Amino acid sequence: MTNVSNESVEKVGSSSGASRLFASLAVLLCLVFGFIIWKFVMGNPANFENGDPNNHPLPGNFLGMVYKGGIVVAALIGLLTMTVVFSLERFAVISKAAGKGEVGKFVQEIQVSINAGKIEEAMEACDAQQGSVANVVRAGLVKYQEMKKEGYTSEEATEAIQKEIEEATTLEMPMLEKNMIVLATLVSIGTLVGLLGTVTGMIKAFSALATAGTPDSTALSASISEALTCTATGIGTSTLAIVMYNTFTTKIDRLTYSIDEAGFAITQSYRKFRGLSK
């Protein structure tokens, strides 16, 4: 048991280090990507009057108008890109953990096999599933076989099987909630950065209006429109982040519940076996 625990700790530590490195690099690259898009795509001289980004955008040119939102726009693009990148990364990890086929159907088939005493058949189904849930269930079934051969009591076997399932879960599924904190943070920070861009844009708009002397409603409307673009982008980022966060949280809960269901079936099957053997 100690060897299994040491292996679990080592693998979890390695996975955590790789996950932190990925998260750090992804955040940095997304921010750099956002700056490049803002500076060289939106800030392309072709989007502005007289080919000068310091001038007003060409009439109807959306990219030039968004560029005028300032450096905050670059941060917002980076945040939106982060949301997409981490959503794809979480989707890949959770899909791999689920394995082949539908998890609920797999657990039902496992329960039927276990209740019928067909442990080898259940283990073969776990091998075919090839997912983290299946690996955890298989570890519980292996321990079940060991307890059965040794003739342990129901209480002793139940405790040992549950402990094995917990250790297998620690080994197989430590990455499921990794980087979820990033999505949770993006839910709030997206809107806040968008509002920051809007506030700074409004400050610049009214400052320019104050120094101009004569009110120019057209210029003021354009400036306000540029500022509000930041809010729209920030809200869009937060909306996408919260939808993906809730979706992945639900999937993780389902996987955990599936493991609990299978673990309960294994322990109940052992109790039934001990009852019949008396």
pLDDT for 54 equals 87
SS (H, E, C) 200-214: HHHHHHHHHHHHHCC
Please give the Cα distance from 41 to 64 (Å, whole number).
9
* Residue 150 contacts residue 274 (beta carbons within 8 Å): no
| pLDDT in 10s for each residue of the chain, 278 residues | 444 445 555 555 556 667 788 889 999 999 999 999 999 999 999 999 999 998 888 988 889 888 988 899 999 999 999 999 999 999 998 988 888 888 888 888 888 888 888 888 989 999 898 888 898 889 999 988 888 887 777 788 888 888 988 888 887 777 788 889 999 999 999 999 999 988 988 888 788 777 766 666 766 777 787 788 899 999 999 999 999 999 999 999 888 888 888 888 888 887 776 665 54
* Residue 219 Ramachandran class (φ > 0 left, ψ -120 to 50 alpha, else beta): alpha
157 is written with which tokens?
A: 């076997």
Write out 12-39 in H/E/C secondary structure. HHHHHHHHHHHHHHHHHHHHHHHHHHHH
The 8 Å CB, 24+ separation contacts for 39-45 are 39/74, 42/66, 42/67, 42/73, 43/67
Residue 79's pLDDT is: 96
pLDDT, residue 10, reads 56
- Residue 26 is predicted with a pLDDT of 94
Q: Which pLDDT value is given to residue 145?
A: 87
Which helix H or strand E contains 110, and what residues bound it? helix 103-115
C-alpha to C-alpha distance for 225 and 198, rounded to whole angstroms: 9
Q: Check residue 214 and give its pLDDT.
A: 64
